[in-house]
Every structure is written in structure tokens, then in C-alpha cells.
Chains A and B, each alone.
Chain A
């Protein structure tokens, strides 16, 4: 079975450019999560969706960040304009169920470097 698929695996771009990260969750999972991992702040939850609806975006750092989930099999995290401090590894994860006691399945992440 395919796991959570993220693309690209690596992204290097100059500050001010728009960055779009993509995620395909595991088929049948109905919750999707976007995380950011940095040395300083560890693993931070940015936003999560349940049944394609954003439930909690309180972790989104600024208006420069936006996330969408147009259907059950695809989500994007967009940064516009990007800044050097956005450099981090971004993970997408998915899980099944509404009760919340299900483990999350993570993709291998996108390593983002903003120059």
C-alpha cells in the first residue's frame, strides 16, 4: 500500500517566491495534518483537516501561509511570499477515524530552503 506521498522532496528557492508543497494522503484516511519541523521549535502542527474541512489552523504562522484540501486525495500548503525563516522540513500526515485515537501516518517530508 502506498503511504503518504509528499512532493517535492526538496525545494530551494529565493526569498519572495511562491512555494507550493503537495500531499497525497493514504486512501480512505479522512484526517490530514501539516507539520513543520525546525531545530528551534521541534515538530509544530500548522493546520489539520477532517473530511476535507479545515478544523484548526491556529498553528499557521502568518497570512503568508495557506492550505487547501480540495478533495480527499490531495492537499497543498502554500507560502507566498517565502522568507528565509520559513526554511524547515514540512511533513504531511494522515489518519483514519473521527475519534482521534488513531496514529498518524507521515510522509517523508519536504525539505524547504529559502535563500
Chain B
């Protein structure tokens, strides 16, 4: 049973437009959510996070939205740049006392075309 799902394996957008990456989860105990970006031959790097007590967190071009009732979160990148082309992983933490054990989605490959 996959508790964190990224249903779109890939997404292609034009440079300058908005990229929207989606993530759904099933476990209502998740209380913290993170997005990671991964380039080929490198490890994932942390991008942005959101606590379950919030519905939006913004950091520059990156905004994460959380809809708890729908168990859905999304990452918006505006404007998209070719350097944003990477695999994006959504991750969820179920218990903030468990030393950070995260459950990851399978990732979405974003391609930003010049």
C-alpha cells in the first residue's frame, strides 16, 4: 500500500510558464511534508516543506500548497526555468517524534523546455 503517490511520472512545460507537481497521500497521521529535487547522478536535495497546520508555504519561485481534507499537496514553480528540469519527490513524515522517518513518492520528472 503506497501511502504517498505522485500519479504523474512526467511533466513537460515551456520556460517561463508555471509547473504544477501533484502529490496525494493516504495516511492522515502525516503531519509534515517535504519536496526534494534530484538531478541525475546526484542525491535528492531538499527544496521546500510545509507543516500540516499551514496550507501554503512560499520560497521564491517555489510554493507548496496543502489541502488536508483532500490529502493532497502540490508544488508550484513560477516561472519555470530550464535548470528546474529534474525529478521531484514528495515526502511525508507521519510522526514528528520519530526522528524524521519519511515516506517518499515515486517522483515526477519535470522537463522545462527553452
Contact = CB atoms under 8 A, between A and B. Distances in A.
A78 interface: no
A48 B49 CA distance: 21
Contacts of B93: 100-101
Contact of B34 (A45, A55, A103): A103
Interface string B43-74: 11110010100000000000000000000000
A104 B107 contact: no
Interface residues of B, number: 26
Interface of B: 32, 34, 36, 41-46, 49, 51, 89, 93, 95-107
Contacts, number: 76
A99 interface: yes
B104 A102 contact: no
Nearest to B106: A42
B44 A106 contact: yes
